[in-house]
Amino acid sequence: MRESFVFYSSFAQAASMLGDKARLKLYDAVVKLGLCCAENVTELEQVCSEIETSLVQNRNAFAQFLLIKPQIIANFTRYINGSKGAKYGAFGGAPIGNKNAVKNNPKTTPNENVNVNDNKKEKNI
């Protein structure tokens, strides 16, 4: 189960238009979807179907949920894709053992440009 999800102020603004019972149903549905334990988008869509079935009796809450659902799914997809990339390191990079990622740079670069300062100041007396 996920421990958190993003709840936007637009969700609260939309819910504020509903009555108390409908708003509570909408909040419960959004929380259930945001914190569900789905491991992929297909499972998340199944959870959405279950939630929509429970909300269909309250048309206003159902309509609000349909507007909120795509954002939660997009955030979930971003979360899943980020989890896949985490095995490559916190800052990204090539997979461990990737031969193409090995750098063949020497530790020091030799300085082939020898600059000799031949400028001599002449004093005018």
Residue 42: inside a domain: yes
Is pLDDT at 93 greater than 80 in this prediction? Answer: no
Number of domains present in the structure of the chain: 1
- Domain membership of residue 7 (yes or no) is no
Region of 60 please: left (phi>0), alpha (psi -120 to 50) or beta. alpha
Residue 90 lies inside a defined structural domain of this protein: no
Q: Which among 81, 1, 4 has a CA at the least distance from the CA of 41? A: 81
- Is residue 120 a part of any domain in this protein? no
Q: Which residue blocks in the chain are alpha helix, DSSP H?
A: 9-15, 20-34, 41-55, 59-85
Inside any domain, residue 40:
yes
Q: Which domain holds residue 60?
A: 23-79
Residues 9-56 have pLDDT tens digits of 999 999 999 999 999 999 999 999 989 888 888 888 889 999 999 999
pTM of full prediction above 0.75:
no
